[in-house]
A and B are shown apart, each in its own frame.
Chain A
Amino acid sequence: MSSGIEKYYSINKDNLDKSNYLQSLLSEAVRLNLLNAEQIHNIRLQLADMITTETRSYTQGDSSSVTVETAQSLMMSIIYTLDFYLKSLPSTDKCLDAIKSMKLMDIYSKGKELIKNEIEKTKRLLALIQKNKISTDNIAYNDTIESLNEFPKKYNPMFAAHDSVVSIDYPLCIDRMDTCGVEYISIYLEKLYWENEFCRKFSPKSIAKLLNGYSNESNELLINIFKLVLANSLGSVLLKRSARDLKIDNDDCQSLQHSLINMSLKDYESEIRSSVVKIIDELEIESEFLTKYIFETVDSISERIKELLKLNKLSNIFIAMKDNTDGTDIKFEDGKKMDDEMFRKVTEEIRSCRFVSDKLKIIWQEVHSFIDLVDILGADCIFENEFNELFSSFGNMELAMLLNELPSNKISGYRHLSIKDFDLHLSESEKEWHAAFSAYLNSLNSARMKEIIEISNKLARK
């Protein structure tokens, strides 16, 4: 039974810097008069001895001097190893006792022993991650796991214990980064393992669709997969569906918006909490670590939901899944472009036509390349109302392609930035067809317009 009374320690652990433990512990001890000047002097002398011994060992006795950078790295490695042991002690009082009663060299040896054990732990975790990693095309995820595999080989606990040595790009959902060396890697691996375990409750296909819904370029983004999956699972439970169902569309977001916005803060929080419990139950999560991790993650997701509710933008957190095969890219292969001589002939012929129908006939007969078509539109051979006739002879695909040639500000609801937006050197005739085309598009009914914009989004952009 908890009495609510906590043991009083002379130094509060919260006041200490985790990444610089010994230094901050000594500072606090001096401030609180728990260590006197002589004891500090003694510690510094011992450190001098240790750095001398370690440098000798580093140079294998061949050199009595090293560069300042090497000396600093050796010193950081020594302090990291001392910290490693001290941090393993249950309280700051025990740390102070150790500093007072033990030789620093003995603390150092114990730290080395603990680091050795930690390296073994990372090896075990790496083996587990090899088995439970999720199948995804996310580059940062795959590269980071590959790089982490090199850790036991590259890590140098003797002279660079503080150096994490491997490159870690994949962002964890909760990553405090206040540690380094093997300690950081070990924590990272443990969290990654549990994130993987969670994600494995869902099919790789649905995760791929979710990532694809997040962005077409999700493979190249530094995103945390676990958080995206958990958010959609939470959304699903809030919608009274299965936690395993990641499918959420815009209508679902709207219904969530309606149901959540009217809740009091207390109800909202208890709703979120009970949903998390449902997720944990349904996914049969037994690990205490993962349960805690999920709760902590949902805290941040919940804050985000609150913000997005105000903006009616829940679709930013509950991502609509997108199938990779539903036509993200329509590949277009252009026909043969005519040579300059031929182009000149065709444009002159078009210009000389009296009726639009004749102009259209020539265009349909002679032009076989989209580039040529765009050039003809801007070649002063089609005028005013003739544009409308020409555009109405095109299907949605041609119109969508022409839309991509237009500066984005011309059409409302069309958000993609185009290189044309930055082109300040449009000729008058180009401006003319742009204006005519945007007027034509704006005159279309909204359903057709939507269709054209959709096709245009799916077209592989140059």
Chain B
Amino acid sequence: MDKKFLLSPILDLSQSAVDEIIKCNETTSRYGLVLSPHEAKELVETRNNTLKDHGRVEFGGGIINKLIEAFCDSPYISQKDYPSILHELIETFYYYKNETLDELSDDELIDLMKDYFNNKCHGSIELLQNRDLDKIAKNIRFGEYEYDSEDKDDGADEYFFGEDYE
């Protein structure tokens, strides 16, 4: 036995995570959204890779379930793009955990993501990432007290949608 790894804790939670995701189908099937075991496994793999890429460690888990539960009633998600959106949401979540310097709790970040995705971003992951969450991350890094305050003059909406998009 390699003595170097004697004290590395065993953290292989993949199978239980897949089982938990499959369990979520009971709730999401009401909205016509279902994941196969294979897709669930892929989501867990995405989570593991994203954690590694962003230098994070997760204990316990449950983020995928939380994302599924938060986003399953979104009018912008259909069965066809359900797994791919979940992959992107997982990556976005961990990326912005780092970018917001861990100042936001898991629930706060998921709530913000859901709110922006369903309202301001009209289901666009790109807008969610590059505009709204980015602005929040910047606000937090610059020590803004109200990090999710609207900046009326920044013209970001016009930039993305043109002047009369509403």
* Chain A contact residues, CB within 8 Å of chain B: 22-23, 26-27, 30, 37, 40-41, 43-45, 47-48, 50-52, 55-56, 59, 62-69, 71, 75, 79
Contact = CB atoms under 8 A, between A and B. Distances in A.
Contact of A56 (B59, B63, B108): B59
B94 A65 contact: yes
B56 A62 contact: no
B6 A26 contact: yes
Contact of A26 (B7, B56, B60): B7
Interface of B: 1, 3, 6-11, 51, 55-63, 94, 97-98, 102, 105-108
A94 B58 CA distance: 35
- Counting from the closest, the 9 A-B pairs by CB-CB distance are A62-B105, A48-B9, A27-B3, A65-B58, A52-B59, A47-B9, A71-B57, A68-B55, A55-B59
Contact of B102 (A27, A37, A66, A79): A66
Given A47-B9, A65-B106, A66-B102, 16 more contacts: A22-B7, A30-B6, A44-B7, A45-B10, A50-B9, A51-B59, A55-B59, A63-B106, A64-B62, A65-B51, A65-B58, A65-B63, A67-B98, A68-B56, A71-B57, A75-B9
A52 B8 CA distance: 13
Nearest to B47: A65
Nearest to A79: B7
Nearest to A75: B9
6 contacts: A44-B10, A47-B9, A48-B9, A59-B102, A62-B106, A64-B58
Nearest to B105: A62
Nearest to B13: A48
Contacts of B6: 23, 26-27, 30, 40, 43-44
B57 A65 contact: yes
A48 B10 contact: yes
A45 B7 CA distance: 10
Contacts of A37: 1
A68 B11 contact: no
B7 A65 contact: no
A64 B60 contact: yes
A37 B6 CA distance: 10
